[in-house]
Structure 1
Amino acid sequence: MKSDMNRRYHTRVITSIIYSAIITCLVELFLVTNVSMIARYLEESGRMGRLVQAVLEYHTAVVLTYVILGLILFSVTFMILQEPYIRYISHISDAVQSISEGKLNTSIDIIGDDEFSSMASNLNKMVEDIRELMDKEREAERTKNELITNVAHDLRTPLTSIIGYLELLAGNTKIEPKLQHKYIEIAYGKARRLEKLIEDLFGFTKLNYGRISMHVTQLDIVKLLSQLLEEAYPSFVDKNLSYDFQSNVPAKMITADGNLLARLFDNLIGNAIKYGADGKRVVVKLQGGEDVVTVSVTNFGYVIPPEELPLIFNKFYRVEQSRSAHTGGTGLGLAIVKEIVDMHGGAIDVASDLNGTVFTVKLQVHFDVNKENFGTIS
């Protein structure tokens, strides 16, 4: 690239020199021929003045004059040919000055196809990269502030309840044993919720910054889903929900990290239980193919508004904030799901209408963690 720019620069300069030299030679030839001819004509006609006499007698001075005129003409011609480039360089210089002053909306028009247009193009790209970097920095700062706000709020709420109930138990010895037991159960539930919030926070941080090593093995995804649903049975009962597991194959071996997939589908099932209580039923379907396994988790409760669907996997995003205060959670569950799917080179989609809210996960049957195949499933 650099050698090509140098070649084009030298070619352009040499071309300008040749053009200037040709123009100078033609003008000089015209002057020499015509001035000498006019001088001889005037001498023959007897109208010879001092200037004509000087032209005819002082050959050295005349030649020197021609040389000086030629140099001036060559320089002027060369400058005229270079003037558009000089003006373009000045424009680029002004743009660089503006950029150095922090005006990142500065853009340079790309004119022609030479080293200066390449310079302008590279400068535009640099400005665009700087803008993107600054946008990322602003987003990182916003996310950090959002993290602090959300964590402080989500940790404070159950912690305040725990402290309140423990103060009641510690300061009042006349509380009936049955009521004491109830307070202890509430405090224990809040403590478990606090533990879950902290686990989600640390889990997402590790996933997001690549601090988790994948341990890929062969596993039966049909068996994994069955176990997760059985483990979630008390939660289904607590929310007065039933579940239905459907699979087109009795067993399906895939290559994946079992612990990460367990967390992925546990989050999806937990999400369906929290937001699907109004629908009384959760349906989990597995479609095992030769190369791709598709798992869908459907609940028939709260319908997610269409404008919120593209934001559903953003970290800390919670649908209907007031409702989330009742259902709990950090807003990290689905962000964790998305990270795990991406780590496995899979794809996840969500659809929500009156027929149910469906999360669909597609995973490769033969996943190779050493290949850069993230996002290959569509």
Structure 2
Amino acid sequence: MKKIKLFPKIFLFTFAMMLLISFIAHLLIFLIAPAQNVLVTNILVTNAGASTLSEVDMPRLITQTMLKTFPISILCCATISALFSYFFSRGITTPILSLSKSANQMSKLEPDAKAAVLSTDEIGALATDINNLYQSLLLTIRNLELEKEKVSLAEKEKIDFLRTASHELKTPVTELNATLENMILGIGEYRDYETYLPKCKEITEQLGDMIRDILNASRLQTQGNNEPCSNFSLRTLLTELCEPYRLIAEAKGVKFKIELSSDAFVYLPEGQLKKAISNILSNAVNYTEAGQSISVVFDKNKLSVSNECRVLPPEQLQHIFEPFYRPDLAHSQATGGNGLGLYIVQTILDKLRLKYQFVPMPNDRGMSFTIQF
């Protein structure tokens, strides 16, 4: 019976039970009916007009009658039992087989697989639960696939970042090593220690700044934002951040304008946001020449940092947020930094889920970085 399918199994079980019930019913009738004391009187009329009374053996008559009718009765009961068992088994197994077929399709992760809800009873509720479970499974699989893609992309970005960082560090390290070696050997102009020692110190400071930025970028990339959020005023934060950069800009002969026409309180990691805005302000000051201007405007939950400078072409803008990318073709750290400023800004703003864009100003007067809070 273990290898028999569900429909014949239910059919045989139901048919056997129906036959058993029919057999028991016939047996009871056969045992009980003859025991009933029924007296039947026959009136016999003779040719002479006289009548006589005679008693009939009713139990014997009933027994004989039942024995004669049992084959037909049992055949009729068996036929009715077979029909009943067939329709009963079909009614029970049809929704179960439908669920089995749907489950088989679901096991193959077919997107259009769905269990048919044929009733409102427990089987219908089971079909609904299976559909809900399958949809949750598909959603979970899609989310896992997205997470897998994100992890793969993050791993690729990490590897590319480390490769680029190694390449960027190699140049100043090689320059510093060559300078020190020539100074030790006393080759030519390198004997002038008073000239080249400050140069070596400048290179080490550049290395220190680059290593610090690399560590900060790596920490943001791998660990995310562990700083707790706090509620603070953007107007107060911008006023504090802009003051030192205003002094630096004025020392370079650059006009620095601040327009904070509105205020807003946000619930964000204050340190991370300060780092991002500081990098934006630093880039604006570094890339603005004397006689030009920088404007910081905050109005209606929108911060804009605009500076008059050479407008970046589209082919450079599409790479501007890549690590160690500098629009300066000479890749000079004196003018173009180490190329991590905007990469750190992008990493922070993405993690804070803030909308931002870096686009040319109207009339191509310069570049503008905007953040929507």
What is the TM-score of this pair, normalised by structure 2? 0.61
2:278 is the counterpart of 1:266: yes
Structure 1: unaligned runs, 5 residues or longer? 1-19, 25-53, 100-104, 364-378
Which amino acid in the other structure matches residue 361 of structure 1? I
Distance between the aligned counterparts of 1:111 and 1:275, measured in 2? Answer: 66
- Cα offset, 1:110, TM superposition: 5.2
**Structure 1 letter corresponding to 2:357:** V
Aligned residue in 2 for 1:64: 74
Task: Tell me which residue corresponds to 1:318.
Answer: 322
Structure 1 contact 92–108 (Cα < 8 Å) conserved: yes
1:248 pairs with 2:261 = yes
| Contact 1:107–1:124 (8 Å) recurs in 2 | no
**1:285 and 2:293 equivalent?**
no
Counterpart in the other structure of 2:130: 119
Q: What root-mean-square deviation, in Å, do the aligned CA atoms of Structure 1 and Structure 2 show?
A: 4.2
* 1:246 alignment partner AA: E
C-alpha distance 297-55 of structure 1, shift in aligned 2 (>3 A)? farther
Structure with the greater relative contact order (CA < 8 A, sep ≥ 6): 1 or 2? 1
Larger Rg: 2
Summarize the Cα distance change of 1:90–1:245 in structure 2 as closer, same or farther, 3 Å threshold: same
Pairs within 5 Å for 1:1-378:
58-82=68-92, 84-99=94-109, 106-109=111-114, 111-112=116-117, 114=124, 115-173=126-184, 174=186, 175=190, 176=192, 177-206=194-223, 208=224, 210-216=225-231, 220-230=236-246, 233=249, 237=252, 242-248=255-261, 254=265, 258-273=270-285, 280-287=292-299, 293-300=301-308, 301-303=310-312, 305=314, 317-318=321-322, 323=327, 326=331, 327=336, 328-330=338-340, 331-340=343-352, 342=353, 347-350=354-357, 352-353=359-360, 355=362, 357-363=367-373
Shift of 1:93: 3.2
> Does the 8 Å contact 2:277/2:345 carry over to 1?
no
Instruction: Quote the offset at 1:126 in angstroms.
Output: 0.1
Q: What amino acid does structure 1 have at the position aligned with 2:158? A: L
* Residue aligned with 1:172, SS: helix
Q: Distance in 2 between matches of 1:215 and 1:194?
A: 29
Aligned residue type for 2:304: S
The amino acid of 1:221's aligned partner reads L
Secondary structure of the corresponding residue to residue 108 of structure 2: helix
The CA distance in 1 between the partners of 2:74 and 2:142, in whole Å, is 58
Deviation, structure 1 residue 150? 0.7
* Matching residue's letter, 2:215: I
The alpha-carbon deviation at position 169 of structure 1 amounts to: 1.3
* Distance in 2 between residues matched to 1:168 and 1:225, nearest whole Å: 38
Q: Matched residue of 2:327: which SS?
A: helix
Query: 1:336: how far off?
Result: 0.8
Report if the CA contact (8 A) 1:159-1:190 is conserved: no
Q: Given the superposition, is the C-alpha separation of residues 136 and 82 from structure 1 closer, same or farther in structure 2, using an over 3 Å criterion?
A: same
1:86–1:350 distance in 2 versus 1, CA, 3 Å: same
Equivalent position amino acid for 1:348 in 2: K
Contact 2:325 / 2:339 at 8 angstroms: preserved in 1? no
Distance 1:146 1:324 in 2: 23
In structure 2, relative to structure 1, the CA distance for the partners of 1:201 and 1:302 (3 Å cut) is farther
Once the two structures are aligned, what percentage of the paired residues are identical? 13
Distance of 2:230 and 2:254 partners within structure 1: 34
Quick check: 2:227–2:271 contact (8 Å CA) kept in 1? no
**In the TM superposition, what is the alpha-carbon distance from 1:147 to its structure 2 partner?**
0.7
- CA distance, structure 1, for counterparts of residue 91 and residue 291 of structure 2: 78
| 1:213-249 C-alpha deviation (Å, 9 max, x unpaired) | 2354567235224325236549x94xx8653322326
CA distance in 2, matches of 1:76, 1:70: 10
Alignment deviations for residues 237-266 of structure 1 (CA, whole Å, 9 cap, x no partner): 4xx8653322326xx584665433321311
Deviation at 1:180, TM superposition (A): 4.1
SS in 2 for 1:329: coil
Unaligned runs of 5+ in 2: 1-13, 19-63, 119-123
Q: How far off is 1:76 after superposition?
A: 1.8
Query: CA 1:324–1:203 in structure 2 vs 1: closer, same or farther (change >3 Å)?
Result: farther
User: d(CA) in 1 for partners of 2:264 and 2:180?
Assistant: 52
Q: For residues 294 and 116 of structure 2, what CA distance do their matches in structure 1 show?
A: 61
Secondary structure of the 1:58 match is helix
The count of residues paired between Structure 1 and Structure 2 equals 286
Letter in 1 for 2:205: Y
